[in-house]
Chains A and B, each alone.
Chain A
Amino acid sequence: MATFLQVAFDGLLNGLLYALVAAGLSLIWGVMDVINFAHGEFLMIAMYFSYWLGFIWKIDPIISSVAGGAFVFIVGALTYRLVIRRTIGKSAMSALLATFGLSMLIKNICLNRFSPNFRLLQDTLLGGKTFNLAGIIIPVPQLVIGLVALALLFVVYRLVKKTRLGWAIQATAMDKEAAELMGINTERIYLLVFGLGGACVGIAGGLLPSYLAVHPEVGALFSLIAFVCVAMGGFGSIPGALLASLLIGLVEAFAGFYIAPVFKYVAVFGLYLVVVMVRPRGLFGW
């Protein structure tokens, strides 16, 4: 029983991490109908940002995650200004290809500047810390990331659902032209949404160096799983992304332990296919 609970808990914590990464993607996809292929690279640059702050100035990832969020907010906003804005109103493929190009650019800049070397922070506040709860080993870094994910998703959800800004975001997502007729500055909304999406993944990336090595390829699988979470949860739905991420975390953990570790991603993508076939708009999609 203890093993079952351990596996379940590990799965939930991984699911919360995926939710944090997926939240920003969901927001961007839901509001702007743009698939940001560079989302994994946003995570990667936040990890580098946090790593270098920790390595040079000994700033712990808990603190640098906030700075990482702010940094990637700016990167996201700049991405909108310099790249995405030029693709609005054109075929969906042009935004997709533009962000794909951006992801290659970011990855290769990091490869060039930081080398493919994997880098791990030593002696962080959370690194390597665990505690035992009724026979279940709780890893502190993953627990903190899980709690941050819950808090951040709650804030983003409240922002979208309960504030004037959120209503403007929803209106822009539903009908851009009508929103503009109502006096909403959709240009600013898009900028904010891209920035917010970046900030969410930036905070996740800022925390990760507590236990995960940083290298230029680190964002690839996270980004793929985030796409699956968003599509499975329903485009633009934060609760959907959370539920899908938790499901994916659990399926990954149980399939990995009870079937075979090499089978875990087969199970994850298999689940995704089933959900998309049965309910193409996702769990919470409209």
Chain B
Amino acid sequence: MKKSLFSKGLLLVLTAFLVVGAISGAAVAEEKVIKIGTLFPLTGPVALAGQRCRAAVETAAEVINNAHPELQVPLAAQEGVLDGYKFVLVHADHQGKPDVAKSEAERLFDQEKVWGIIGCYNSAATKPASFVAELKQRVFMCGCSSSGALTERDFKYFFRMAPTDKTESLEFVEFIEWANEHKGSDIKTVGLIYENTEFGKHAAEEGRMAAEAGGFKVVADVAFNPGATNLNSEVQTLKAANPDAVFGACLGGDYTLWVRTMKQMDWLPKVALNYCTGYQDPIIVGQLGDDANYFMGGTGYAPEFAELMPAVAAVEEIYKTKTDPSVPFDSDSIQEAVALLVLAQAIEKSGSLDPTVVAETLHANEWESPLSMGGKVAFAPGGQNIKAMSMLTQLQGGEYKRIYPVDLADTEPVIPMVPWKDR
């Protein structure tokens, strides 16, 4: 009798387990999620930029996943894509190291089972991580890594939103030609200063080629190790060569150290043009004060562009709640938001979650992108966004003023830069 009761009880418990298991299994099967890995430098020398990029992707996910009819962004009015699929983000940190980026990309795909990856800010990290994605035939969306080499590999699953160093270098040269013609700037020589990384070296290479093609003589080529304790030799080398224009590729704390060392050595070129670097970081104005002024750079977005990109402001309010301290988008982080917004449109349009179909759809269409300066995104073979635009700005009175192209400018550039002693 006792045995029979025990058997019945056991049967009941097992049945209950099976029923609960079946219900929860069905619930998991019905869970409509698209797992996207974000891979940025969340620690290490450029962690601040990485954390902002992550916040930008989170902002885009919030816009897509929830109904935001007030936003003028494609798919914002509905909830999710493909009739209810929502994006779930899995964050990973590559610390600014290419080897870590590769292993984290493998982990995201193999263990976290992500559908695709968005990243990686540092070109040096994007290179191996996107290689992993290509091997696995998974989509890799790259917001702001600027090394031109990334889109010269003929990858099928790699897509980059931002302009490349090549585009910016050509723009720099075009600007100094314009300044020579219209401002009598008499710029003949160029100096290069850059961090000794994939990004810096590639930017300098493009800068050199563009300058020489434009008939300018490159008189200084200064590479430095990021995170240096001082930049004295670097600035001393520039000062000794005394180029009329300097193209700079310095990130984060290195940028402030470079500017302060130039002040200490009482030297400035006529113009200092920066790639997507520390110059674009909205906090440098607060950190450097008046010393930040009169430097120039390629800028894909700044709050001062509001009249050119009216849809950004409302999305930016969401982004500000995700950053600490609360900051507006910058040229780099906004591209990461664009990456997810464009991917969401492609998934919706293709009606499929097959990475190959989505990648083909991304290539085949032109996408609405109100968070991009050109308003559109379209990809060339290799994955470069051929609609990517940036303009030149100059910091004047602590604000990013639009100075070139002339038809989009709101301010006259100050050339030459105001000497340190006159500030």
Contacts and interface: CB of A to CB of B under 8 A. Distances in A.
Interface stretch (B5-13, B66-74, B221-229, B365-373): B221-229
A60 interface: no
Given A213-B256, A253-B233, A265 B225 contact: yes
B257 A3 contact: no
Q: Which of A130, A252, A261, A262 has the most CB of B within 10 A?
A: A261
A120 interface: yes
Contact of B222 (A111, A211, A261): A261
B321 interface: no
B396 interface: no
A96 interface: no
Given A118-B287, A217-B227, A256-B232, A111 B43 contact: yes
Given A115-B51, A117-B283, A130-B266, A7 B236 contact: yes
A252 B264 contact: no
Contacts of A128: 260, 263-264, 291
Of all A-B residue pairs in the complex, the 7 with the closest CB atoms, nearest first, are: A256-B233, A116-B47, A262-B223, A118-B253, A213-B253, A120-B287, A116-B48
Interface string A39-69: 0000000000000000000000000000000
Interface in A177-228: 211-213, 215-218, 220-222, 225
A120 B256 contact: yes
Contacts of A122: 287, 289
Interface string B211-253: 0000000000011110111111110110010000000000011
B227 A7 contact: no
A205 to B, nearest CB: 13
A6 interface: yes
Contact of B260 (A211, A220, A257): A211
A115 B287 CA distance: 15
A79 B230 CA distance: 29
B406 interface: no
Contact of B266 (A137, A215, A222): A137
A36 interface: no
B232 A14 contact: yes
The size class of the interface chain A forms with chain B is 35 or more
Contact of A262 (B50, B196, B324): B196
Nearest to B233: A256
B44 interface: yes
Given A120-B287, A120-B288, A220-B227, A264 B260 contact: no
Nearest to B225: A265
Contact of A222 (B225, B229, B236, B263): B229
B382 interface: no
B253 A215 contact: yes
A117 B325 contact: yes
Contacts of B252: 118, 215
A75 B231 CA distance: 30
A222 B224 CA distance: 16
A116 B39 CA distance: 17
Q: Which of A108, A116, A221 has the most CB of B within 10 A?
A: A116
7 contacts: A14-B229, A17-B229, A108-B43, A111-B43, A120-B256, A215-B48, A255-B233
B229 A225 contact: yes
A123 B44 CA distance: 28
Contacts of A277: none
Contact of A264 (B233, B253, B325): B233
The size class of the interface chain B forms with chain A is 35 or more
A134 interface: no
A137 B230 contact: no
Nearest to A217: B45
A130 B224 contact: no
Contact of B51 (A10, A116, A137, A256): A116
Q: Which of A118, A211, A217, A257 has the most CB of B within 10 A?
A: A118
Contacts of A120: 256, 287-288
A3 B47 contact: no
Contact of B232 (A3, A115, A215, A253): A253
Nearest to B291: A128
A119 B287 contact: yes
A166 interface: no
Q: Which of B223, B260, B263, B324 has the most CB of A within 10 A?
A: B260
Q: Which of A17, A111, A225 has the most CB of B within 10 A?
A: A111
B266 A261 contact: no
B224 A10 contact: no
Contacts of B257: 212-213
Interface string A106-150: 001001000111111011000010100000010100000000000
Contacts of A253: 232-233
B18 interface: no
A260 interface: yes
A256 B234 contact: yes
Contacts of A265: 225
A123 B290 CA distance: 11
Given A3-B236, A264-B233, A217 B228 contact: no
Given A115-B51, A120-B288, A6 B263 contact: no
Contacts of A261: 222-224, 231, 233-234, 237
A260 B223 contact: yes
B312 to A, nearest CB: 23
Interface in B30-86: 43-48, 50-51
A216 B196 CA distance: 21
A78 to B, nearest CB: 25
Contact of B48 (A117, A123, A218, A222): A117
Contacts of B266: 130, 137
Contacts of B237: 256-257, 261
B228 A221 contact: yes
Contacts of B353: none
Contacts of B228: 221
Q: Which of A120, A130, A213, A220 has the most CB of B within 10 A?
A: A120
A6 B225 CA distance: 22
Nearest to B240: A3
